[in-house]
């Protein structure tokens, strides 16, 4: 996300203006905790007046934060949107590459978003983040051709998604070490490993693993 470069004097449509303000807000949230970003900061970053920011987000900071979160959530969802080409593990790898690029590009903002503990966190913002998790899980089932994941497979996939989130936060804390590509391979290997553990006690996962084993791994 780059700060909006559109000159303020150009007449923007309502949608363009809104998206310009969201971009400015996200770029600020990317490097500071949301409660440390004021509407003044957003106005300054977008090169517009404070009243204009208020006109678009009359609910103030919380409304802007939620809108920015929704927009980030939408971007994240697009990361998971992977064509059905190559093996499922290749697709998972490509989706993870995009996800890690998103984490890399939004660093502090991403941490603030997921770690909670922000004074503006509400049940609504939590629901937005949970929606992204659900969407990630649904993409995984779709690519694995699973229509009706059983409880053990669902628990495994959701645990792995949570572990990936934790890994992303730790990765940002550890100055992005190991390199993204190594982290991605590690996460894919963990995915296979936890499925293997579940396969020992769940026939659906066992069948799935058989199909994955026929994959050509990179």
Task: Fill in the per-residue mask, 186 to 205: x = in contact with its own copies (CB under 8 A), - = not in contact.
Answer: x--xx--xx-xxx-xx----
In whole angstroms, the minimum distance from the beta carbon of 26 to its own copies comes to 19
Q: Is 166 in the site for its own copies (CB under 8 A)?
A: yes
Q: Is 176 in the site for its own copies (CB under 8 A)?
A: no
Q: Is 167 in the site for its own copies (CB under 8 A)?
A: yes
Q: Is 63 in the site for its own copies (CB under 8 A)?
A: no
Q: Is 60 in the site for its own copies (CB under 8 A)?
A: no
In whole angstroms, the minimum distance from the beta carbon of 25 to its own copies comes to 19
Q: Is 59 in the site for its own copies (CB under 8 A)?
A: no
Residue whose CB is less far from its own copies, 43 or 172: 172
Residue whose CB is less far from its own copies, 32 or 55: 32
Q: Is 70 in the site for its own copies (CB under 8 A)?
A: no
Q: Is 209 in the site for its own copies (CB under 8 A)?
A: no
For 68-71, the CB contacts below 8 A with 24+ separation are 68/22, 68/25, 68/26, 68/29, 69/113, 69/125, 69/128, 69/129, 70/128, 71/19, 71/22, 71/26
In whole angstroms, the minimum distance from the beta carbon of 190 to its own copies comes to 5
Q: Is 158 in the site for its own copies (CB under 8 A)?
A: yes
Residues of this chain that interact with its own copies (CB under 8 A) are 33, 115-119, 121-123, 125-127, 151-152, 154-155, 158-163, 165-167, 170-171, 174, 177-178, 182, 186, 189-190, 193-194, 196-198, 200-201
């Amino acid at each position: 996300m780059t700060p909006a470069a559109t000159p303020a004097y150009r007449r923007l449509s309502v949608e363009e203006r809104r998206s310009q303000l969201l971009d400015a807000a996200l770029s600020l949230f990317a490097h500071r905790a949301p409660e440390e970003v004021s509407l003044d900061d957003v106005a300054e970053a977008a090169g517009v007046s404070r009243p204009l920011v208020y006109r678009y987000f009359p609910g103030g900071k919380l409304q802007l934060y939620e809108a920015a979160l929704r927009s980030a959530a939408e971007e994240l969802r697009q990361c998971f949107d992977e064509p059905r080409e190559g093996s499922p593990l290749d697709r998972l790898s490509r989706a993870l590459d995009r996800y890690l690029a998103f984490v890399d590009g939004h660093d502090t903002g991403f941490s603030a978003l997921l770690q909670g503990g922000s004074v503006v966190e509400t049940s609504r913002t939590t629901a937005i983040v949970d929606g992204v998790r659900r969407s990630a899980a649904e993409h995984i089932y779709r690519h694995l051709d699973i229509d009706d994941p059983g409880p053990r497979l669902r628990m495994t996939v959701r645990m792995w998604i949570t572990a990936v989130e934790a890994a992303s936060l730790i990765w940002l804390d550890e100055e992005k070490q190991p390199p993204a590509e190594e982290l991605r391979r590690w996460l894919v290997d963990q995915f296979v490993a936890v499925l293997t553990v579940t396969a020992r006690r769940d026939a659906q996962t066992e069948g799935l693993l058989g199909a994955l084993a026929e994959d050509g791994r990179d």
